[in-house]
């Protein structure tokens, strides 16, 4: 169980992030709910409070370094620790081939999918280093292992996130901090603004939350570097 632990989850207002936040709260963690939309976060916090669980709402823009730093400072002042950081927030970019993508779309995707986790790790790793423990989990994608036609920018962001994860794990392991990446395939969410077809055949957000729960409850002497997740049946 995770009693007295502080967990920060980005993209917590919906989909995979909401499911992860629910699971960590049910395990006893105080979950700091982070996303852009305050109302969605407050509804989730009310749900968790009604179940006797602990959560704090912190709306912010992941692409703004000053707002990420303000979040880390608030966690330091209120809790003096961060035990779990889940970098879940992400956006997709499926559509035209790479040579037809606008610079604005490329920059936005990289800012959220790759620069965002960098900013979060840079802000929260010092707090974990001070305590000599912590677990960082980055939510990637199987697109970070495979070519993706008409999704090159999204794939590139996830390949980058995987490389960031493997390297940061080596940088932080001597401080007692574990860094893992989860790479799911097709998930039943409205990721990208579209209602998915064959929803029952896809991974469910709770499936990813199950793996997060497994990782953060491992004994301290080991950690799982990466988990690849696929639906049992192709959707």
Largest CA distance in the chain: 51
Residue 154 known to be catalytic: yes
Arithmetic mean of pLDDT, 126-149: 95
Arithmetic mean of pLDDT, 167-186: 96
Give pLDDT tens digits for 96-125: 999 999 999 999 999 999 999 999 999 999
Helix, strand, coil percentages for the chain (3-state, nearest 5):
50, 15, 35
**Least confident segment among 138-152, 161-175, 182-196:** 182-196
CATH homologous superfamily, domain 6-229: NAD(P)-binding Rossmann-like Domain (3.40.50.720)
- Per-residue pLDDT for 177 more than 60? yes
Q: Residues 6 or more apart from 25 whose CB is under 8 A from it? A: 31, 48, 51, 53, 54, 55
- Average pLDDT for the chain: 93
Arithmetic mean of pLDDT, 120-135: 98
Global confidence as pTM: 0.94
- Per-residue pLDDT for 194 more than 80? no
Q: How far apart are CA 2 and CA 100, in angstroms?
A: 47
Angle between helix 205-216 and helix 15-26 axes, rounded to 10 deg: 40
Per-residue confidence (pLDDT) for residue 109, from 0 to 100:
96
Per-residue confidence (pLDDT) for residue 54, from 0 to 100:
97
DSSP letter for 197, please: S
- Per-residue pLDDT for 190 more than 80? no
71, 154, 180, 202: the catalytic one is 154
Q: Residues 6 or more apart from 221 whose CB is under 8 A from it? A: none
């Amino acid at each position: 169980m995770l009693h007295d632990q502080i967990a920060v989850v980005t993209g917590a207002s919906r989909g995979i992030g909401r499911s992860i936040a629910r699971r960590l709260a049910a395990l006893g963690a105080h979950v700091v709910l982070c996303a852009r939309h305050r109302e969605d976060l407050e509804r989730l916090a009310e749900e968790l409070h009604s179940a006797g669980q602990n959560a704090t709402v912190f709306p912010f823009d992941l692409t703004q370094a000053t707002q990420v730093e303000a979040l880390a400072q608030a966690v330091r002042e209120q809790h003096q620790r961060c035990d779990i950081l889940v970098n879940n927030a992400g956006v997709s970019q499926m559509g035209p081939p790479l040579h037809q993508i606008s610079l604005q779309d490329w920059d936005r995707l990289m800012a959220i999918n790759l620069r965002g986790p960098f900013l979060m790790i840079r802000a929260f790793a010092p707090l974990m280093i001070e305590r000599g423990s912590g677990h960082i989990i980055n939510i990637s994608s199987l697109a970070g292992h495979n070519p993706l036609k008409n999704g090159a920018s999204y794939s590139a962001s996830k390949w980058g996130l995987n490389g960031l994860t493997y390297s940061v794990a080596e940088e932080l392991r001597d401080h007692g901090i574990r860094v893992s990446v989860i790479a799911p395939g097709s998930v039943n969410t409205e990721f990208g603004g579209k209602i998915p077809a064959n929803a029952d055949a896809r991974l469910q957000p709770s499936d990813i939350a199950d793996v997060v729960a497994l990782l953060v409850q491992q004994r301290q002497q080991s950690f799982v570097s990466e988990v690849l997740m696929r639906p049992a049946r192709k959707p």
